[in-house]
Amino acid sequence: MGFNYAVVGATGNVGREILQILAERSVPSSEVIAIASAASKGIEVPYGDDAVLQVDSLETFDFGNVDIVLSSPGANVSREFAPKAAAAGAIVIDNTSEFRMDPEVPLVVPEVNAEAIANYKAKNIIANPNCSTIQMVVALKPLHDEVGINRVVVSTYQSVSGAGKSAMDELFNQTRGIYANEPEQKFMENFTKSIAFNVIPHIDVFMEDGSTKEEWKMSVETKKIIDPSIEVHANCVRVPVFIGHAEWVNVELNSPLSYENARELLGAAPGLVVVDHRQDEGYVTPVECAGEDAVYVSRIREDLTIENGLSFWVVSDNIRKGAALNTVQISEVLIDDYLS
């Protein structure tokens, strides 16, 4: 049985990757429709290696014949159009922040809490978590299942693609401009400071307690996805990397867990690949994870400064597993377990 898919935001980084992944994974689709703003109507976007799709306009599109919507147009657009698509009978899997903390909307990472998809009928909407949260909870899940996690302290090193295509252009233009002796202000549009050859400890807006919204998201989303008792303190940093988020994760476990047992648990978990060799090049960096589906864990070691402490390095392609792939995987579980 094939399903009619609509990809909203099809001209953006994530939308294009969703189309590529749908083609790669041979998802059971009768039709795939690319949708974006009216300004993009008629543009052709690739679907797999050989086909192209002509973009339709979101403002005038009728979702009446669509089964599943994979949506990544930005929170403001999703706020308006996702409920309309859901009311027309489509199931919306939304990649924006708009519905993540809605108690009636499941927030899902298939390797972690696929069972939450069962609650999709409340609003016909399923939310995709934040990119930095996704890769972290994939790694936290097997540890929490085994011994329980009390507290997490995470420092992120997030690539500019997390802020969109224009942010990637900004890094490229600033880097080129430095060698061409052009002022950095000429290319400053997305970030509060120059991103080329720099790091910026500021992602999303500031909140009253001094955290940024990105840091808040990692805390509340982890609680909703895994366990509300887990405390998370996040420090989120934008770095001059095009694709791939990296995270140093330090966990305080509820019971002792040796390095050997932790490595075995992580290595056996779905969606995780452990590359942890205590030698030069024995770890994965964002450069190696770009274009890959897995979440990679390296540098696993016990933290002897606290009781039951463990730390590890986590990297993943934020456009694929951190957004597009996770969205498609949710649709696959939805089809296999609830629609077939």
Q: How far apart are CA 58 and CA 37, in angstroms?
A: 5
Query: From the CB of residue 275, how many other CB atoms can be counted at a distance below 10 Å?
Result: 18
Q: How far apart are CA 54 and CA 41, in angstroms?
A: 8
8 Å CB contact between 266 and 297: yes
Q: How far apart are CA 75 and CA 55, in angstroms?
A: 20
| Residue 281 CB-density burial (10 A; 0-12 exposed, 13-18 middle, 19+ buried) | exposed
Tokens of 314: 């986590």
Query: From the CB of residue 209, how many other CB atoms can be counted at a distance below 10 Å?
Result: 7
In angstroms, the first-to-last Cα distance of the chain is 8
8 Å CB contact between 335 and 3: yes
Three-state SS at 296 = strand
Phi and psi at 129, nearest 5°, equal -70, 175
Q: How far apart are CA 22 and CA 232, in angstroms?
A: 33
Residues with catalytic roles: 131, 245
8 Å CB contact between 57 and 38: yes
Three-state SS at 2 = coil
Tokens of 67: 């089964």
Strand duo 125-127 + 245-253: pairing:
unpaired
